[in-house]
Amino acid sequence: MRNYMRKALLVVIAFTLILIPNGLTIAASAPSRGGTMVVGISTDPGTLNGAISGSFFDKIVASNVFSMLIRLDRNMKPVPDLAKEWTVSQDGLTYTFHLVSGAKWHDGKPVTSEDVKFTVEDVIMKLHPRAGTYSQFISGVDTPDPHTVVFRLKKPFGALMNGLGYDFFILPKHVYSGTDVKNNPANVKPIGSGPFKFREWLRGSHITLERNPAYFRKDLPYLDRLVFRIIPDASSRTMALEAGDIDYLAYLALPSSAVPRLKAGKNMTVTQDGLESLASILMLTFNLDRDVLKDARVRQAIAHAIDRQYLVDYADYGLGRPATGPISSLTTWAYEPNVRKYEYNPALAERLLDEANYKPGPDGVRLTLRLIADTGVELNRKSAEIIKEQLRQVGIKVDLQLAERGVMLDRVYTKRDYDMHVHGFSTGADPAIDVARLYVSSNIRPVSFTNGSGYRNPLVDELFQKGEASTKVEDRARHYREVQKILVSDLPVIHLVEYGTTAAWNSHFHGLHEWSAYSYYIFWDAWRD
């Protein structure tokens, strides 16, 4: 996209301000070609098929292998990717996309509208963590010709374009059709149509992508290769960045503790720009299938026993702020601050546990709960350790189980073998996409990043449905503000911290974080001086 705009600038300089999309900037000098950029991540991805995953560690790779119909700029406005242009019917029920010509899969076959139809109907609406949301609104996809895609909706869906620019990685039908999509070998050796081609994946070590010379956006990408290096230890990742062994860290891969030092260092760019889509919240999720946690007084006691500001200061190193509910304060149009507050009050926590008949034993222990967290993400690990100590103060013994990410996800979402779970969730793309999935009863299923608590409330389901279906922002906001009040009162999840989301990279690299709200997934504009 940036390369296209640069050419337009050279041809028609007088129209520069018209041609440059919101949030896109032009580098001061011409990009150089070649070289390698090494991106640090904390764990192996679970899959390289971005159409069946919502995980940061899966999508950071997949986004550079696969194309989407559209991407989102810094203001969450759509810009072209596989779709060069589109129209929306007046009633909001028909979206028509016209595909670019010349796009090819990495095996040389042409990209057509049939690939889009297959991806949406047979993959996204069945297997994606947000399938429950999308299937409520998308009736089907028509393909009047190889370069035209028509989405038919059952009812208006105000968040559709946000979803298309977030979750809808387009897959090759000829590779996946008639197969078990979740177990297709292409999930670990992907064939996309994006700027980089898959080369190798050595588990526990690295994933290598190479420049796609047939990419439909001419002259992109600038780099010859991308390497995603797996470094489980947070301190080691930071030291590798400072030493020049890796070039880029962002979001969950960048420990908050390192940010002040990196800001003060030489040859380092540190920013929160280009992460506008995240608006992330650290949460303590309860397994509501556990009898002890079905008692609201126990959940409330735990909420009063946790000092959120302490978590901000010592787990997020002052980068974030205490959370108040399921929608981040950064999502200003939908945020509701006037919800029930659970102030830090250990004495009240003990009284609530007494009322629930969990009295301290001779050793001072009232009950024991298992808490699982991702050992590879510093924020999650440190927060879990702090929560363990704070709950001990009110007589709750915590069996802290730090696990590798894949094990943790299996325990929480597939086996449901946990009591409490600490994890961070992006809530920023749109409440219909990134918030509803965690609470609606239709999304209780053995898929990662769904309704892991097992929470059920028909009124919450109804309010989310109304928010999704409304076309006016003020109507959507009214429904979402009401749902925040209910969720904070019911407390299936304790919303702990709106944590700081930051990226850092070697300043010898340019073109990063210039135009997209998902810049932490997009590296084809990057180049090295």
Q: Which residue has the tokens 């449905």?
A: 465
Interval 326-336: pLDDT, tens? 999 988 889 99
pLDDT for 11: 35
Strand blocks (E) in 73-117: 78-80, 83-88, 94-99
Name the band, by pLDDT with cuts 50, 70 and 90, for residue 39: very high
Over 50: is that where the pLDDT of 27 sits? Answer: no
**E-strand spans in 130-287?**
138-145, 148-153, 196-202, 206-211, 225-230, 248-250, 268-271, 280-286
Check residue 185 and give its pLDDT: 98
Mean pLDDT on 247-253: 94
Helix (H, G, I), strand (E, B) or coil at 43: coil
Give bridge partners of residue 403 from the DSSP assignment: 374
d(CA 495, CA 490): 12
Q: Report, as an integer, the average pLDDT of 129-144.
A: 92
Residues 1/496, Cβ–Cβ less than 8 Å: no
- Residue 42's identity, in one-letter code, is S
Per-residue pLDDT, averaged over 16-24, amounts to 34
| Structure confidence at residue 15 (pLDDT) | 31
Encode pLDDT of 273-302 as tens digits: 999 888 999 999 999 999 999 999 999 999
Which amino acid type is present at position 10? L
508/26: higher pLDDT: 508
Sheet architecture: strand order including 503-506? 196-202, 206-211, 225-230, 36-41, 248-250, 503-506, 268-271
Averaged pLDDT score across all residues of the chain? 92
Q: How many residues does the chain have?
A: 529
Name which of 123, 133, 192 is nearest 163 in CA terms: 133
AA letter at 471: T
DSSP secondary structure code for residue 2 in this structure: H
CATH among 3.10.105.10, 1.10.390.10, 2.120.10.90, 2.30.30.90 for 280-498: 3.10.105.10
Residue 122 has pLDDT above 60, yes or no: yes
The DSSP bridge pattern shows strands 268-271 and 78-80 to be unpaired
Task: Please tell me the least confidently modeled range out of 190-199, 244-253, 336-345, 468-477.
Answer: 468-477
Would you state the pLDDT for residue 426? 87
pLDDT(18) > 70: no
Rounded CA separation 186/115 (Å): 15
CA pair distance 475, 478, nearest whole angstrom: 5
Percentage above 70 pLDDT, the chain: 95
- pLDDT value at residue 1: 47
Looking at residue 384, what is its pLDDT? 98
Question: Residues 43-50: what's their mean pLDDT?
Answer: 96
State how far the Cα of 190 lies from the Cα of 49, in Å rounded to an integer.
7
- Residue 8 pLDDT grade (very low, low, confident, very high; cuts 50, 70, 90): very low
**pLDDT score for 327:** 96
Contact 361, 275 (CB under 8 A): no
Determine the average pLDDT of the residues in 20-24: 36
Q: Using alpha carbons, select from 268, 284, 215, 339 the residue that is nearest to residue 494.
A: 284
Give the pLDDT score at 17: 31
Tell me which residue of 519, 502, 58 sits closest to 251, measured CA to CA: 502
Joined tokens for residue 147: 């370069």
Residue 494 and residue 492: Cα distance in Å, rounded?
7
Q: How confident is the model at residue 47 (pLDDT cuts 50, 70, 90)?
A: very high
Residue 114's nearest CA partner among 106, 122, 220 is 122
Helix (H) or strand (E) holding 425: strand 420-426
Q: What is the pTM of this model?
A: 0.79
242 Cβ neighbours under 8 A, 6+ residues apart:
262, 265, 268
C-alpha 23/C-alpha 77 separation (Å) is 10
pLDDT band with cut points at 50, 70 and 90 for residue 181: very high
Distances (CA, A) of 58 to 188, 272, 275, 457: 11, 21, 17, 31
pLDDT of residue 470: 81
CA-only gyration radius of the chain, Å: 23
Residue 22: predicted pLDDT? 35
Average pLDDT over residues 25-51: 87
Tell whether the model's pLDDT for residue 231 goes beyond 50: yes
Q: Which residue has the higher pLDDT, 16 or 176?
A: 176
Average the pLDDT over each of 24-38, 155-169, 288-302, 306-320 and give the range with the smallest value: 24-38
Contact 314, 381 (CB under 8 A): no
pLDDT band of 428, cuts 50, 70, 90: confident
Structure tokens at 26: 């032009």
Whether 1 and 8 have beta carbons less than 8 Å apart is answered as no
Element (H, E) at 498: strand 493-498
pLDDT grade, residue 26 (50/70/90)? very low
Average pLDDT of span 394-404: 97
Instruction: Compute φ and ψ for 418, nearest 5 degrees.
Output: -165, 165
For residue 172, the SS3 value is coil
CA distance 82 to 216: 9
pLDDT score at 429? 73
Reply yes or no: is the peptide bond before residue 221 cis, omega within 30 of 0: yes
Under DSSP, is residue 392 helix (H, G, I), strand (E, B) or coil? Answer: helix
Model pLDDT for residues 433-455, shown as the tens digit of each residue: 889 999 999 999 998 999 999 99
Question: For the segment 482-501, what is each residue's pLDDT rounded down to a tens digit?
Answer: 999 999 999 999 999 999 89
Start-to-end CA span in the chain (Å): 20
pLDDT of residue 13: 33
- Work out the pLDDT band at 24, boundaries 50, 70, 90: very low
Which residues face 396 on adjacent strands? Answer: 367
Q: Residue 21: pLDDT above 50?
A: no
Exposed / middle / buried, residue 512 (Cβ in 10 Å: 0-12, 13-18, 19+): buried
Lowest mean pLDDT among 2-6, 17-21, 393-397, 462-466: 17-21
pLDDT of residue 473: 86
